[in-house]
Structures are given as structure tokens and as C-alpha cells.
A and B are shown apart, each in its own frame.
Chain A
Amino acid sequence: MYNSPYLRQNTSVRRVMTTVLVAMLPAIAVQSWLFGAALLVQIALASATALACEALMLALRGRPVAPALTDMSALVTAWLIAVCLPPLLPWWTTVLGTAFALIIGKHLYGGLGQNPFNPAMLAYALLIVSFPALMSQWPGLNVGDFATQMDWVFGGARALDGVTGATPMDALRTGLMTGSDTAAVMRSTAFGHVAGAGWEWVALAWGAGGLLLLALRIITWHVPVAFLAVMSLVSGIASLIDAAHYAGPALHLLAGGTMMGAFFIATDPVSGATTPRGKLIFAAGIALIAWLIRAFGAYPDGIAFAVLLMNICVPLIDMKTQPPVFGHKNGGAP
């Protein structure tokens, strides 16, 4: 015996998660095309680790394994971790990060729907704090054939100095530290048109996938709009004040994790704010903190730390931004 409603929309967590995976495909395809298929291997590694950890933790917790394994949420976490990491990372680093995200970040808090922190960002934060050197080895355009790349990932070969280049964010940081200015750094050949050779296309692909999520109503406009608007605003103001030391909005929007963060990370419903106003505050906070870390912090990109810091604020944000309920808006007046 069950009660009304007897009608149910044809929807499920699996469908939602699968849609997110599909929306990630453009960016994954572009990045693999430009930077080599090592990314696909990393995604496979992360996926296998995530599913294994999910199954293990569910079994340890005495929960039914099959429904949770097929809800695709572990795969979303795995894919998001894999695309955040440099694709030539040694295999065990990816496995470690993914296992940490699933075991500590997700299941120790109670599993799906219970984690206060974005698991993918936890993994990224753990790895960049623990292995900053490994985490800065990003490949340049068309570096090495697939066999060479696999040797780096699985063989332990780390003579990467010739093949990896700085990401635009790294280049900017190093350039500014060596006394150059933003314009000079960005004129270098590795910098591409706006925000790093190749990486700007990856960023646009993330944007395209994000628009798909918006169109399919998986996410609402609040988070990406607030995120990108605040990122443009603060970087625009800073570059107007001192263009030599602060890059403009174009770089900040298309480099690093901005696009992915705005559409795929900050929109995570479990660890993010849920009310409309709360989402605006949450996303604006991430963009602001991320820019501060980029401009003044010790790390080249700050999306992960910004997300984790704002995750802490979510309960407060949600509590303080409850929308007025029906009839309580303006005393019921039309």
C-alpha cells in the first residue's frame, strides 16, 4: 500500500547523473583531441577506483550495493576528478585522489546526498597540497604519442621537463614573479589567443556542456551566471586599476577551472546552496575567493579551495535565504 501521488514523472537520480556525464563529453573530447588520449586513461582509472570504493563502502556500511552503484553518482565524481588533474599524472595519484573523495569525502559523511564538501574538489585539494610538483606538470599541445604518455602514467618515467608546459595561470604567476607584466606573458607563443593554447577551447567546451545542463533543467541559471559575472567583475575592476599586474576577464573566464567550476562544480546540488538567492551568494563567493587566490595566493588556481570554503557556509546561506512562502510575500497583496 502506498499513497498519493500515484503519478510520477519519468525521472531518476540515474537519469540526472547520466545527463551530467553526457554534458561532460564535449570538454573531454576537446581535451583528448588537443592534449592526447591520456585523459581517457585517467578517466578509466578514476571510474574503476570510484566504483570499487563505492561498492566497498556500501558493503562495509551494510547498504544495498546494486542500486547505489548504478545511480552513476560515483562516476560523475570520478570524471570530475580526472578532468581536474594533469593527464600525465602517475596512475597511483589519480587512484589515491579518487579513493579519498569516495571514502572520506562521500561515504564517511553518510554517502550520496550527505557530503558537505564537493568530493571532487576534496580530491584536488588533497593532491595539490600533497604533490604540488606532480600537480603542476601539464602537457603542452600534442605532447608525445599515446605510448609515451602511457609510459609517463604507468612506467614511472618523470623526465617531463621538455614536454610539460605551464598552464596559463602558472605562466602568468611565474611571469609576474620574474618581473614581467601580464601583456608580455600573454604574448608568448604558449599562450594561444586568449587564455592558453588549447585550454581556451577546452573551456569553451565546458561552457557548451554547461548550456546543455541548463537547457535540460539539470541546473538553474543562478550559479553559473553569478559565478561568471562576479569573476568578470572583480578581474575587470582589478585590471582596470593595474593592467600590468592583473589579467583581465577574458583570461580569468577561459583559463583554469572557471568554466568547469561555474557549470559543473559549483552547481553540485548536494554540497551547494539550494535556495535561489543562496545559489547566487554561494556562486559569487566562490568566484570572489577563487580570484583572490589566483591574484594573491600561493596556488595558481583557487577554484577548489574557494568551493570548499563556500561549502562550509552552505547551511548558513540556506538558512538565511529561505524564500517567502505562498501568501507571505507582501501580506497577500497582488
Chain B
Amino acid sequence: MLRKLFSFNGGVKPDPNKGASTREPIARLPLPPQLIIPLHQHIGGTPRPLVKVGDRVLHGQRIGAADGNVSSAVHAPTSGTVVAIEPRLMPHASGLSSMAVVIEPDGQDQRIEREPFDWHAATPGEVRDYLRDAGVVGLGGAVFPSHLKLSPGKAGGTDTLVLNGAECEPFITCDDMLMRSEAEDILRGALVMQKMLAAKQVLVGVEDNKPEAAAALKAAAAALGHASLDVVVVPTRYPAGGAKQLIRVLTGIEVPHGSRSTDFGVQCFNVATALAVWNALEHGEPLTRRIVTVAGNVDRPRNFDVAIGTPIGFVFEHAGLKQDTDKLIMGGPMMGIPLPGVEAPVVKATNCLLASSPALFPPPEPELPCIRCGECARACPADLQPFELYWHSRARNFGRAQEYHLFDCIECGCCAYVCPSHIPLVDYYRYAKSEIWARERDKDAADSARERFEFRNWRAEREKEEKAAKLAARSAAKPAAKPAATDKSPAEGEAAATPAEDPKKALIEAAMARAKAQKEAVAAKNTDTLTPAQQAQVEAAEARRKLAADIVATGSGETTSETATADKPTE
């Protein structure tokens, strides 16, 4: 079947470099002396530890429970003893640590008894909960909890399930090798997902530089005999494996920034995620292992089946790290992150471990001024004007950067790849984005602090006035106790009651006016707003004056002028 394919603008064609790591089949990596299993390996809440130091755990045992629905569980990849639960170095550019369960394997690999789960009979909600507790998250790199993406959505079901086997980043071949060896189970997983999403068709997108994987998938699709399942070979062009780019190529739909693909009837999963779903439901296997490509400056580049939690150094030992390695990267050379150390563990997001050498990835040449040649704009798959974003980010003109759609940038690196001035463009965008986020956080914090402060002031003042009003009411009630003035008492009682209520109202109004004035004064920083602020002050003063006049009941003009003059300097 010939399918009409679409195209996205831009993109680049770096040397795929996928040959070296696909010569040998996937090898199962032995267990390391210690497994470091981070509790937080996905988008969403950090799981609560279910074990304590000294506990014996079994293979497949849940050691961290999902924290709410936007979270996912973590499991022990083998049997052993929990030796520590403490912050450990994470595979993240920040070099920060995060809570991890450290397990010393006992070598017996004793499995936990599987709780029976008949997923065929279960409701979709139960299946989603099961996948959450099996720790299934997106294995393409974003590690978004998969169960959250598996509802049909509001608009009466999904049209297309896109299975992402494009794997466009150079050097990475873990999906390629997985598709070659596990094509049928990948498609079985996809069919489960299709059912859960009520999708009309499943499109598996594979770049044309992976003919073996495409052939294996096509054979498996034929064997499964589902008419709605189609394996589509797409042209090799980075970043065709970006979810939005692949959706565009396969369906022609462009999902804008800020929208979900499901709004357009499309849902997208990585091929490895489909296999994880199948293994969880059919075999009761939680996600405790993944395929990791080890490539770059190593003696034996290869794909390994690695237990999650294996220290990265241990993985590199098996591939033979070369002497002149200057840097370790998690992910591919276009979007990968520099690793802070070899002690960091393999996590669910680790698709590739790349060793860099000065010869393989030479340090960038000195940055020259932008000459506005527009190469970056031609390479941008998001149709942005990267050099404009660069100008505004560099000038810390973040508002303008946002006007030029800074947050539509997917940080694919195409612009920096083609830049003749060797400008690290993506770094400028990361900087601008983090600055904007920091400012928004600061602003939110300042707003809530101001609100709290204003409310506290208002409450203190209200309590003071209430006390004063009560006192006044009591002193006014005293003459009413005299029997001679019985006919006067209702009037006096009323007079006492009215001020008691009135000042309250006036105070609330005054406080609200002040808050409003202050808010305006903060929002717009020019002298124009002084007038409303002054007015509010005058109103507040008048409210207080009225109150004072009522309480004291002198009714003289002197107090008024005094209050007014006393109020003025406070501005």
C-alpha cells in the first residue's frame, strides 16, 4: 500500500553513524555489584519508597509506589538486599543527586510471585492502573507515564496511533535492534494500545536507513494480519523522530506548541514503550530493563540489555572505553546531555551512552558574530527564525524572544549544527527559557507574599476596629440601662449598632481599595498610578475619620482636618 507522506520544513542530515553498533545482536549485560535505582525516573511525582534498608527484595518487586496518578512505579530488577536509600548522583547535566534505592544483588535472581491480572477482562481504567504500577513510561527519552496517554480522549476516540521507530539521532540504534528482534511483540503491544485508545489505525514510522527493522516489522504485521496496522518507511532526516515531526510526516497534521496531539486525534508512542506494555500485561514483567546503545569512542560499540540502576561506568567497561575519551554523553550527539560521572545509573530514559573524544566530537570553534545568513532558519523544523531568538536571548530581551515563539523551540540542535559562526544557539535558548521560568516563579512568589501580607494587615486592622467597636457599643449601652431614658434607648441602641456594622464595611472597603491601588501601583511602574493610590488613601482616611467621628460622637470639624493632615505624610 502506498501511503501519501508529508514533509516538515528544515531538518539536517548528519552522518547516521549507526553501522558500528548494529553489527552484533543485543547482548544481555551481567548484573553489577550494586544497582542504584532512582525513585524519580519519569515526568511527574516522585514515588514513595516501599522498602527500607536491610530488606530483601525480589526480582520484579515494587520498591517505589507511584505518587498520585501523574507518576509511575519503580521495581527491583533482581533479587538482593537494600543496602541504602539515599541521594545518589543522577544522569543529569546539573550534576545533582536524587533519592535512590541501592540494591546489592544476591545472584539468585529470585522472582516475585506474579499477581494474576487478566488484562483482557479488565476495564481500561484497571489496565491503566496496572501499567502505572508496572512502571511503564515512554522509552523514547521523555519518560512520560504511558498510562496517562492511553485514554481515548474526549472527542470520541483517537484516529491514529503513531508508533515511533524513526530513531533519527545519529549513533543511537537501540530501537533499531529491538525492532529487528522483537517486531511481533512490539506490534502486539501496539494493538493493545490501539484498543485502549479506540484508534482506527496504527502507523509505525521507521526511517529508511533501517531496512532490516522495517522488513521485520512488515513481516510481523503480515503474520498478525491486522488491516489497520501499517509499517511506513519515512525518509531519513533529523529530527524525523521527534513526535511532532513524525506525526506531521505520517498524517500531515501539525500539532502546535501548547496543544496535545490527541486534540488532533493522534497519539504517539515509542516502539520500545509498546513492547514494555506488552511485557507488562502479557508476562507480568514490570519495566526493570531496557536496551541501551553504547557507541562512540569505545572498542566494542553494541546494544546491551541493561538492568535499570546499573552504574554507567559498569556499562562502559563492557564496551571498552578508549583512553582518549574526554566526555560521556547520555543520548545522541544532537540532543544528548553531558554526564556528570560514571557513578550515575542507567535510568528508564537512557537510550544511548555515547563516549566522546576530541577527534569524534571536536570542541566547537570560537564563536563569531551572527551574519544573519539564515541557515538556521532553513534548518529549523519548527519554522522558527533562530537568529532572531538568538539576538533577543543574548540581549536578555526575553519578551521579544517569546514573541518570536521561543517556547516552540524543541532544542533539536539543527540551528547550531548548521551555524557558520559556530554560535551555540541552543544554549542561548535554554538560558532564555530558564530565565523566563525563574522570573515567572519569582513573580508568583512575590504575588502570593504580597497577598498574604495585605491580608494579614487587613485582618489585624479589622480585629483592632472590632475591639474598638465593641468597646464603643458597651459604653453606649451604659446610659440605656437608666430607666428614665427608656424612650431614647432604641435610637441610641440603633446609633450604637450602626457604627458597629458600618466601620466593618468601611474597613473592608478601604482595605480592598488599598489592595487594588497597591496592585495597580506594582503592575504599572509610572507616576500616573499615583492618583488612584492617593484617592484610595483619601478614601481610607475618610472611612477612618467617619468611624472615629461616630465613635467619639463629637461631630466637630477639627478632628476631620486633623485626621486629614495626619494622613497626608503617609504617602
Contacts and interface: CB of A to CB of B under 8 A. Distances in A.
B300 interface: no
Contacts of B161: none
Contacts of B44: none
A333 B253 contact: yes
Interface stretch (A124-132, A250-258, A324-332): A324-332
A7 B170 contact: yes
B288 interface: no
A73 to B, nearest CB: 8
Contacts of A322: 385, 404
Interface string B327-351: 0010101111110000000000000
Greatest chain B CB density within 10 A among A1, A2, A3, A329 is at A3
A5 B253 contact: no
Interface residues of B, number: 65
A3 B387 contact: no
A334 interface: yes
Interface of B: 6, 8-9, 12, 14, 93, 170, 244, 248, 251-257, 259, 264, 329, 331, 333-338, 356, 361-366, 368-375, 377-378, 381-385, 387-388, 404-405, 408, 413, 416-422, 424, 426-427, 430
B254 A327 contact: yes
B288 to A, nearest CB: 28
Greatest chain B CB density within 10 A among A2, A7, A67, A73 is at A7
A269 B373 contact: yes
Interface string A292-334: 0000000000000000000000000010001111111100111
Contacts of A13: 368, 371, 420-421
A71 B373 contact: no
A157 interface: no
A178 interface: no
B255 A274 contact: no
A16 B426 contact: no
Contact of A15 (B14, B255, B256, B420): B420
B8 A326 contact: yes
A95 to B, nearest CB: 26
A20 to B, nearest CB: 11
* 6 A-B pairs closest in CB distance: A334-B252, A327-B256, A5-B413, A113-B369, A6-B361, A327-B254
B14 A7 contact: yes
Contacts of A240: none
A276 to B, nearest CB: 9
B372 A270 contact: yes
A275 B382 contact: no
A36 B334 CA distance: 52
A53 B385 CA distance: 33
B372 A5 contact: no
A12 interface: yes
A6 B413 CA distance: 9
A114 B369 contact: yes
B420 A274 contact: no
B71 to A, nearest CB: 28
Nearest to B9: A326
A168 to B, nearest CB: 34
A25 to B, nearest CB: 21
A12 B365 contact: yes
A6 B338 CA distance: 10
Contacts of A9: 12, 14, 417-418
Given A5-B333, A9-B12, A275 B385 contact: yes
Interface in A1-60: 1-9, 11-13, 15-16
